[in-house]
Every structure is written in structure tokens, then in C-alpha cells.
Chain A
Amino acid sequence: MGTGRRFGARGRNARGDRAATRVCRTASLCSALLLAGCGAGGASRVKVDPSRPPPPPETPAPARETGAEAEPADGAAPETPRAGVPAAPGYPPAVRIGARVAEIRTEPAEIVLEAGDSLAVGEDVKTIAYDADGREVKGIRILSNLDSRFAVLEDGYVKGIAEGDAELRMSIRVPPAAGTGPPEVRTFGAPLRVVGPPVAAVEIVDPGVRLLAGTAIRLEARALAAGGEPRRFVEVAWTSDRRRLATVDERGFLRALLPGTVTVTAAVGEIVGARTFEVEENPVVAVEVSGPSRGRTGDVLRYAAVARDAAGGEVAGAPVDFAAAAFETRADMGASVYPDGAFVAERPGLYRVTAGVAGRSGQMLVEVAERGASREIVLTGRGAVADRPTSDLWAFTGTDGRDYVYTGTHAGGQRMLAWDVTDPANPVLTDFVEVDARVVNDVKVNDDATVAAITREGASDRKNGIVVLDLADPAHPVVADTYTKDLTGGVHNVFFAGDVLYAVHNGTFDVHILDISDPDDVEEVGRWGIDRPGKYLHDIWVADGLAYVSYWHDGVYILDVGDGRWGGTPTEPAEVGSFAYEEGNTHVAFPYTNSDGRRYLFVGDEIFGCDDCISRNGHPGDGSRGFVHVLDMEDPANPREVARYEVPEAGAHNLWAEDDRLYVAYYQAGLRVVDVSGELRGDLFRQGREIAWFPTGTPDGHVANSPMAWGPQPFRGHVFVSDLNSGLWVLRVVPRKKAAAS
């Protein structure tokens, strides 16, 4: 924790550098740092002939002479091109000399810095050009650049952002190979590694089992910085002091051989952690397995193993390995069993669950049936919107007792549409609110249905912000206030929590916290955001005093906004935990506690620019992908990813969970309804947990016959779905008919 920032009322500069040790702020120094061996000479003014025309078409421009001819940057005399090097007359000396360059290296050769630290290019990191004989070449200009999420090049300083590898790119201009025409650019790279703070301690985690001769367990080492924060991406060297008794391999697998005392060490550089184990004689002669013998696909079946000695007594703490196997030979007869004895099958069939301790094992057979989750889903009604794309929706009961759905519009939309859905079979468009915007992406209504907030992007004056609506007559909402202060970059999503409205701002990429108790006079009362260059905030959802904030590249952050256990309040959030994953593109998060009391967070990706996907615009790499990550939230400070829901051919968008069903607007795959009852593990799609799907495409859509499901909301027994290409859909999952009594 600790990466987030909390602002008081009116906020602060949202771009404060994080612990940068040295920061350059003068333009002259910064620009000088981009040059190696060059300086003021490059800044000389040029005398030009105003009558000289621009170069003709198709004819390369003549090389330009510049003031640099007179004096190279570092004051060194310009070097004369050597024999064998193209003289390249007419090119500036810095370009001509570039022809001699065979290599550019940095000094040090590998740039290593800590996250939060900075290195001055030219001082701490030198960029040096060499000829083919390894001699330094002076008098050229080296341009530097860095395109990475782990480090940035600003003001002539390389700044470490987060642990990871990058490359410092160095470019020079050289005469073209053809001998004529404009100079070409040659580029070289130098490796750059951003590391975490130094490791101060290494701990070997207690495996929680006994080490019996003949067994093997995997050890886990934790590397900690001085402040106690865990370090990632560290290389651990494992050793055993008595290899005759127990060996440990480079992955931390400890194999017990003979009884005795052994000390295992885990070293990260010079820092070493150690744990002593007692290898015991293995008394286990049998292993008993207990658990269910039947289940359905997707059920997480729990198995327990008891190791017995020769006398039939239980051998407590014996390390048990679980395994699962199918009797069928089909490749897709999939089932998994986890180290904690949780078994889940993706396909029906007969499986064998084995629990073993050093060659002794017990088995159980489990017969897995089809889950039978599928239900019929039927179309109840439609609110067709064919003249503009539709975005998000919100369904609610108005103060007049009637039911409404408000929908936003996208890409030239400008409007929020009000639908009376009291008769879900016949949604009636009662009115619309038109604002200066081209995207009304989000629509939210407060708990007592008196106020709505809609977001603005693409305003003609680029002021954007939000518009607050008075819902005294919910069929005909009217504008109460337009709030743009510090939200001019556009607002993409909002969420109500009592009198507070959380607004996702496209400019600061912070959550702006607005007091909306007086809808006619909105006021900002706080902000929260992570502190990382390149952050991109997309969504927020609030439930039960916790906010779930989706940062595109940096994962989902859980904030205390009233729960209180972590010290947060609605206007002064406190960070509880976070979870990031390799795929990135974290788009939306929805918390849910199912009827078994299991707490999950469903986190949706929105991945476009996927090289392996079906193209949307005909450009390589613009297809839609992305899936739903399922996080176990028993401890909100430490979310764990336990499952996923992934439709293979499409990309996930907004989602909602209710009554043990997850509703996912899955873009081109339409609405998907998923059974999220019980414990969740593994791949929910492959497990047959899908209850229903409905393709929300139609010939009369804004884009014909092309589902692009945007957002779902179950409401009063129906599922309301907005579709980018076709508007509002009202669907109903048909309950299973009860078997007739015999």
C-alpha cells in the first residue's frame, strides 16, 4: 500500500514526482543533456536565403549547413572524416561525422536505477559513440528517448517508475547510404533496468507441514525492503547445508532424503534468510481420501486426506500431494485439483482424485455430471435506438412509482434518453436530455431516485464535466446544474454514494469527489489517485463502504470510503489493497457476495489492439478481447485471483452480479449470464457455468446485425441491456420448470 494519494478539498497537483532524487527544471540544462559531445553550437541561429524555394517533390532535400559547422558542442575541434568514410559533402559536420559511428554505448553499459530514483543523462549516464576500431567519436549529436512504463526520460533525467526492464534509445543522423538525399537516422539501444528498493531481509515461509523422508515440498521465499514492503522480480539462490539429508533446487523444491536436521538458506544477493527443518522418518503407510463422489462441472469439490501410520494412527502434518486424472482419453476431459484439495471439472466424466505422501496414496472416484446451468433467455421488449450509438444504462424506480431506464449515447450522441419500462414489454421513450457533448458515456441515479448524473466528453468548448439532473419528474428529467470545474478533460464514469458523487476524470486520471447534496451547487470536496506517470483511470464502483477503482495499466484499487476499518471516509479514501495482472486493460470491477457468503470481485478487461483477434476496423491488431477475472475478496487487503470467465471469441465490457448470476455485456458476444453460485475456481466458461446468452444484434440497428453489448442490469425480474449498435434490450431468463409431482 501507500502508492495512492489522498487529497483534501480542492485537491493538489496531481502530477507530483514520486521521490525523484534529482530533478532538472531548466530548459537549457535539459536540452544540453540530450547532446553528447555537442552543446551551444547546435543552438546557433541560421542565416537563410529567403528566396530559396523548398525542395522539389520526389527530390531529396539538400543537406543543410548549420551553425554547428563552426563549433562542435563540447568545444572539441570537429573531426575530419577518415579515409574510407564517405566525405558526404554538404551535410552538417555532426551528420558527416556520424558516418564513422559503429556503435553507441552507455556508460555504465547497463543502466540500473531504483524505482523513484533519477539519473542525469550526461552525468550519471553517458552516451558515447565509437567507431569500428573502438575509438570514441566526438562531435555528433545523440538524441535520447525512452518509451516504457517502467521509466521515463524527462528534463534530461531518466526516472525509475516501477520495477521492470526498458531500453534507452539513442539516435544519430548520418549521411544516407546512397550518398545523396536527406540524412538518415541510425538508432542504438542500451538496456535499462528499474529495480525496487534494496532487499533488506529474506524470509523463508513456514510451509506448515512436516518434512518426512521421501517427500518434497515447495518453499517460498519473501524478499523485503527496509520498510517491510515485499520485493518482486528478485532472483533467489537456494542452498541446503546438508545435501545428504535434503536437497533444494533452484525453484525452491525441498526434497527430504534422510532423517536429521537441515538448514535451508535463500539468498537474494548478499541478503540471506534461513530456516531449519527436521527431516523425520516417514511413518506413513496409507493415505485415506474423503470427499464427494459426485458433482457437477464447475462445482468446487473439497477433498481431505489423512495419512496413517502402521498402527492406524493419523500422521498429522504430513505433506500431501493431490492429483486428478480422467479415465476418458479425450484431450478436453479437463479437471484440476489444487494443492488445498479443491477439485473442479470442466467436462463431465469419471475422474480419479489421488492424495499421496511419498509413494503411499489413496484414491477416490468422482463422477461429474453436466452442470445443467443453461436456461432459456427470451426477448421481452426493445427500445430501439438506430440513429446514434448507445452507451451505459441505469434502471430504477422513480419517485412516481414507475420504472425507468436511462441510457447514454456515444460517438456523436449528445443525449441521455429516458425510457419508461413499467411495462418491460413495451419500453416507451418519454424524453431526452440534450447536452453539449459527443459522448454521454455514463448515467447514474442516486439511491432515492431524486438526482441523476450524466457524464460529458467531446463538448464543443472542451469543458466537459458532468451534468446533474433533477428527477422530480423522472419521465422528463431536467438539468439542475452543469459542473465542469477541473473536469474539463472529460468524465467517463461516475458513481453515487449518498450525497457524494465520485467522478472519473480523463484529465487528472484521479477520482474527483463531489458533494452533490445540493444538486444546484455541486462542489469538489476531495480527490484520490495513484501516483504513477502514464496512469489511466477508467471506472469506479462503490458498495458497502468500499470503492473499486479500475486503473487501466495498474489494476484495481480497493478504497475504504466509509467502511471505516481502514480509516477511510467518503471524502478521504484510504487505500485497502490492489490487484494488477499481466493482461492489464483493467476496465471495470464489480463486488459481489454470493448466497454462500463468498466474497468476490469480478474485474473485466477491455482489450483492443490485440494482434491475434478479429479486426474491427480492418487494421491489424484492433480486435476486441478481454475477459473477467474473479478475485477472492475474503481479505480485501489481499485479493487473490481464483477464477476467470472468458468467452473465447469476444471481449468483455460492463458487468453486474445479482442472485448468484453474473451478467456480462460481452461486446460482440452479446449478453452472457453466468452461474456464480458456490465456490469459484478455474475457467467458468469451460466449466459450463454459462446460463444463457443473447445476441443483441438486429437488422435495424445503428450498425445492422452486429451485437455490441455495452452494459447489463438485472431489474425487477428482467435483464436490461444496452447495446452500442442497437439501443435498449429487455430480456428475461426463463426459470426452470419444476418437475411434475408423480
Chain B
Amino acid sequence: MSAGAAMAGTLPGLALALMAGGAAAQSPVYRVYVANESSDLVSRVAFTPAAGAVVEKEIAVGVMPGDNDGAHGLSVSPDGRHWYVTIAHGTPYGEVWKFRAGPDTLVARTRLGLFPATMGITPDGQFMLAANFNLHGDMVPSTVSVVYTPDMLEVTKVETCMMPHGSRVRPDGTRHYSACMHSEQLVEIDVATFEVTARFDVTPGLEGALAGRGGEGRHGDHGGGRACSPTWVEPGLGSRANRVVYVACNGNDEVLEVDTEAWEVSRRFPTGKGPYNLEVTQDGELLIATLKGERAVAVFDLGGGAEIGRVATSRPVTHGVVASRDGRYAFVSNESVGSVRGTLDVIDLRSLEVVATLELEHQSGGIDFWPEPSAPGGVR
């Protein structure tokens, strides 16, 4: 498959983009927010297929110039009115900051747990669930914070397992899923009660429902020396909505499709090195996985069950991915390394080519689509 367009040399300026050609005036505009963890900046990027991508705005987050605050996860509310960013590093507890989308003004700050990372939001926008990844010290079971968004009130913490990451609510809003890197678990929470209702072991070779096991799990490396080390869980959409979730096995280079009715692995998708974040297009037909260890993304046809393309990204440590609501484009954040800035790649999901690349700030990671009413695909 196409390796996409590679950047030549350094990327000067914020607004430099690779051009796809065409009449800009007639093109729709897609927008994403990207959190830059080591710059404490959030970038708002507009992509116009005919004109390329530009950084429209950079929003400063965090308060500590001498201690990086760590803008990690980013989620836009389903109605597109607000966006949330987790300020992960904390002293030591992290926070979630709520912004009005568009003017990008701060609405509220709420303290969460240790290293809050990714967030999932219920379809009605009422609850945001943030996985407290807890990178701090010895491994102990951590929590998912439940925040009532109208008041930005953390109403409870649900203990799940060690290093929860990836936080998503399935389309019908009844169940929340997260995965725990250090416990080899997929965890289901009932959104009506905020109780853990199911745990699923993702240890290679030992996959299956767990009964009665607490949050510590297997600690990895128990499946014949292999570990899934799950970093993400993404619910199925379309015809698979509310029936399956996809789990990125960062340590075992595969994505699992887990049937959440039968609680069994229904399919496996071998990937490249280090699948990290996942995205399913709105029609439920494509699965996109960032390959953190391979500087690429893999695209899978969920109908046929095969990888249909692998696209090299502009910089290493490929991190987050979101698809436009119309399923035409994937937006991929790349952390990069050290002082080299991160980038955003826009991939045409038809041609499987990188059609725009934009340099952002340091350690570009958390990303979400901002669906303006006029945007293709409408409001998310």
C-alpha cells in the first residue's frame, strides 16, 4: 500500500501543509483538536481537502511552567459544544479541563485521579468517564473517574484494574469499556449504576471472561511469555454496534474483536508493531489502528476482516487517530521524540495516502474530531 506522502526535511511554520489540489472554495472543512502533552498546548487544526491543513489556534492549558502539566487525552462532547482535556501529570492528582469549543474558553477544571488519560463520553453528553492511568510508582488497581459534565462534578471513582487506558462508551450509552495495560483486562462498566459488570482476560492464549477476579489481573506475561498489554478499546459501530469492542494489544501486535454478548474473541487482526489507539468509522466498516512502534497506521476492512492498507506516518511514535464523521479521512497524531515536534497526518481513507501533514507542538497525542454543524457528517 501507499506509504503516503513523506515530508521533506523539516517542517517550517505552523501552517505548512501538503496540498491535495482542487478548489478550496468548494471544499468542506474538517476540524480536530490535538493535545500536545509536552508543550501544554492544544492545537485546533482545520483541514480543507483542496487547501490542506492549518493550525487555526493554539490554546494554552496547564499552569506550571516549571513542571510540565501534561495535556494527554482530548475528547469533544457529542454535541460539539465543548471539549475536554486531561491534565495528566498533576501534583500528583490530575484534572480534566472543560472548554467551550470554538471560542476555546475555559469553563471548568475538575480534579480526578492519578494520571487521568483517555476519556469516554455518554451519547447524551451527561457523563464523562476518564481512565486514571496511574503511572505513579508501584502498580496498584486504579480507577475510572465519573464526571457529571453539566456541573463538572466527579460523582464517583470506579476501581477497575492496573493502568487503565482507553475509555469509550458504546453507542447505546449503556456500557463503558476500558482496558488495563498491566492487568491484561478489558473491563465493562454499567453506565446506569457505574459498577463493573464484566471483566475479560486478554492474555494471549487465555482470553476469556473473568469471574470474581479483582483489579490486579494477571500482570501480563502469563500467556507463554506474551502479553497483550491492552492500550485501547473501541466499540464497534454500524452493524456491530453494541455487540463488539476492539482491543489494541500493544504488546502482542494484534487487535482483538471481543464479542461482549458471548464474551469471547470473535476475530483477531494481526497488526504491525505496537498497536496503540483505535478508531472505527461511523459506518462501522473500517478499523484504523495507530502502530506506535512502527511509525504507521493500519487500516482494516471489518467486513472482510483483512488489513487493506498500512500508511507510514510523518513522524515516529504514532499516537492517536480519529476519523471524520463521513468516514473519508483519518486524522493521526504523531508524538515524535525529544525536541522534534509532533505532527498531524491526514489520511484519505479511499486512497490510503497521506494528503496533508502539519507540524504541531511537542508530543502530539490526544485527538478528537470537532464536528461543527456545517462540517461533513454533521454533529457527532
Contacts and interface: CB of A to CB of B under 8 A. Distances in A.
B38 A438 contact: yes
A82 interface: no
Contact of B135 (A28, A92, A507, A667): A507
A438 B339 contact: yes
Given A617-B62, A724-B65, A42 B193 contact: yes
Contact of B148 (A155, A171, A508, A620): A171
A55 B169 CA distance: 13
A171 B190 contact: no
Nearest to A73: B193
Contacts of B90: 536
A413 B339 contact: yes
B194 interface: yes
A510 B316 CA distance: 32
Interface string A296-307: 000000000000
Interface string B90-132: 1111000000000000100001000000000011111000000
B124 A55 contact: yes
Nearest to A28: B212
B92 A536 contact: yes
Nearest to B90: A536
Contacts of B140: 15
B123 A54 contact: yes
A31 B188 CA distance: 13
| Dominant SS among interface residues on chain A | loop
Contact of A54 (B146, B155, B172, B240): B172
Contacts of B22: none
B155 A185 contact: yes
A438 B365 CA distance: 14
A293 to B, nearest CB: 46
B38 A54 contact: no
Interface in A154-210: 154-155, 169, 171, 181-185, 187
Interface in B137-189: 137-138, 140, 146, 148, 150-151, 153-159, 171-175
A507 B115 CA distance: 10
B196 interface: yes
Contacts of B136: 489, 506-509
Contact of B338 (A64, A436, A509, A510): A436
Contact of A460 (B78, B317, B378): B317
Nearest to B244: A50
B351 interface: no
B197 interface: yes
Most buried by B among A50, A53, A58: A50
B171 A145 contact: no
B339 A415 contact: yes
Contacts of A53: 171
Classify chain B's interface size.
35 or more
A26 B92 contact: no
Interface string A65-96: 01010000000000000000000000010100
Given A61-B124, A509-B137, A169 B155 contact: yes
A508 B66 contact: no
A608 B159 CA distance: 30
A98 interface: no
B173 A434 contact: no
B16 interface: no
Contact of A435 (B67, B151, B194, B338): B338
B195 interface: yes
A402 to B, nearest CB: 27
Interface string B201-226: 00000000000101100000000000
B91 A552 contact: yes
What DSSP secondary structure best describes chain B's contact surface? loop
A411 B241 contact: no
B333 interface: no
Given A27-B215, A438-B362, A187 B155 contact: yes
A654 to B, nearest CB: 9
Contact of A143 (B60, B123, B151, B156): B156
Contacts of A31: 158-159, 195-196
A546 B117 CA distance: 38
A509 B138 CA distance: 11
A27 B362 contact: no
B238 to A, nearest CB: 9
A507 B158 CA distance: 22
B341 interface: yes
A441 B66 CA distance: 8
A617 B151 contact: no
B375 to A, nearest CB: 11
Given A15-B140, A45-B197, A509-B92, A622 B338 contact: no
A737 interface: no
Interface in A11-33: 13-15, 25-28, 30-31
Given A27-B214, A710-B66, A508 B138 contact: yes
B8 interface: no
Given A25-B214, A492-B67, A508-B138, A143 B378 contact: no
A653 B67 CA distance: 12
Contact of B93 (A68, A458, A534): A534
Nearest to A27: B214
A618 B60 contact: yes
B167 to A, nearest CB: 17
A30 B192 contact: no
Contacts of A619: 60-61, 63, 106
Given A182-B126, A616-B63, A457 B153 contact: no
Contacts of B336: 460
B264 interface: no
Contacts of A414: 338-339
Interface in A413-463: 413-415, 434-439, 441, 457-458, 460, 462
A189 B60 CA distance: 34
Interface in B40-95: 40, 60-68, 78-80, 89-93
B250 interface: no
A458 B155 contact: no
Given A50-B242, A143-B156, A439-B68, A187 B151 contact: yes
Interface centre among B61, B80, B148, B335 (most CB of A within 10 A): B148
Contacts of B155: 143, 145, 169, 171, 185, 187
A45 B262 CA distance: 12
Contacts of A439: 38, 68
Contact of A388 (B65, B89, B339): B339
B65 A460 contact: no
A52 interface: yes
Interface in A617-662: 617-622, 624, 653
Contacts of A43: 190, 193, 195, 197
A136 interface: no
A411 B39 CA distance: 6
B24 interface: no
B5 interface: no
Interface in B265-323: 316-317
B264 to A, nearest CB: 15
A23 to B, nearest CB: 12
B173 A617 contact: no
A57 interface: yes
Given A15-B140, A145-B154, A534-B93, A46 B243 contact: no
28 contacts: A15-B140, A42-B195, A57-B78, A57-B79, A61-B122, A64-B174, A92-B192, A147-B154, A171-B148, A182-B124, A185-B148, A185-B151, A414-B339, A438-B38, A438-B338, A438-B362, A460-B335, A460-B338, A462-B135, A488-B135, A505-B137, A507-B137, A534-B92, A608-B65, A609-B63, A617-B60, A622-B62, A624-B65
The 5 closest A-B pairs by CB, nearest first: A42-B193, A57-B379, A61-B124, A414-B338, A508-B137
Given A145-B156, A507-B137, A624-B65, 13 more contacts: A46-B192, A52-B242, A58-B379, A169-B155, A183-B126, A436-B337, A438-B68, A458-B362, A538-B67, A606-B64, A608-B64, A619-B61, A619-B63
